[in-house]
Amino acid sequence: MWELLKQGGVVMYPLGFCSLLTVAILLERLVRFRHADRDPAVVLRRAEAALKAANSPPQWPDEPAPSIRAIAAAFAGRGLSSERVEERVRAVLSSEALRLSAHVSIVGTIGNIAPFIGLFGTVLGIIRAFRDIGQVGAAGPAVVAAGISEALVATAAGLFVAISSVIAYNLLITWQSRILRRAEIVATQVVDMVAEH
């Protein structure tokens, strides 16, 4: 396998770096998203119990979940008008959206550029094949084999990295949207609960 990858030429270095970067970001985001994802029903039950338990504003732990942070913002705004509470919650949700999307665009960019890096390797391989023909003065299979092999390996590697990155990007975007949608559902209901109390 290593020998096959070495045949891809110089473009295998940036493709390898892009592949490692994609895996690192994917793993880091999966861990963060797992901690940020909360079941809206469970969170709402906690919020309702906290509102009924005491007259003072409930204190919420600092958790990496957008829904929990939205509730904390709503509770901190008790006594303000509903519009002001909604503004606070919207600001928190916007901040959480930025926090969740950190580094995800890098994965999307790698998915877009990896085929072009592979295509660059293809061009270099074809150039090498023609150079070998020029040096030998003949165009037999043995003469062009190394250049064509480099071109094909680079193309395959570029496509592999691109496909993997696009799958990872779509997975992250879908999960991020679900987390934020759940947080919005929780925030809307908690703002109404805070207004009633």
Name which of 123, 101, 120 is nearest 32 in CA terms.
101
Question: What pLDDT, on the 0 to 100 scale, is given for residue 125?
Answer: 82
Angle between helices 141-196 and 66-76 (to 10 degrees): 30
Rounded CA-CA distance 72/48 in Å is 13
- The SS3 assignment for 79 reads coil
Q: Which residues lie closer than 8 Å to 77 by C-beta, 6 or more apart?
A: 84, 85, 88, 89, 194
pLDDT in tens, 24-50: 999 999 999 999 998 888 888 888 877
Q: Which residues lie closer than 8 Å to 119 by C-beta, 6 or more apart?
A: 155, 158
pTM summary value: 0.82
The arithmetic mean of pLDDT across residues 10-27, rounded, is 93
Question: What pLDDT, on the 0 to 100 scale, is given for residue 169?
Answer: 97
Per domain, the residue ranges of the chain are 8-196
pLDDT in tens, 152-176: 888 999 999 999 999 999 999 999 9
Which is more confident, 132 or 110? 110
Across all residues in the chain, what is the average pLDDT?
84
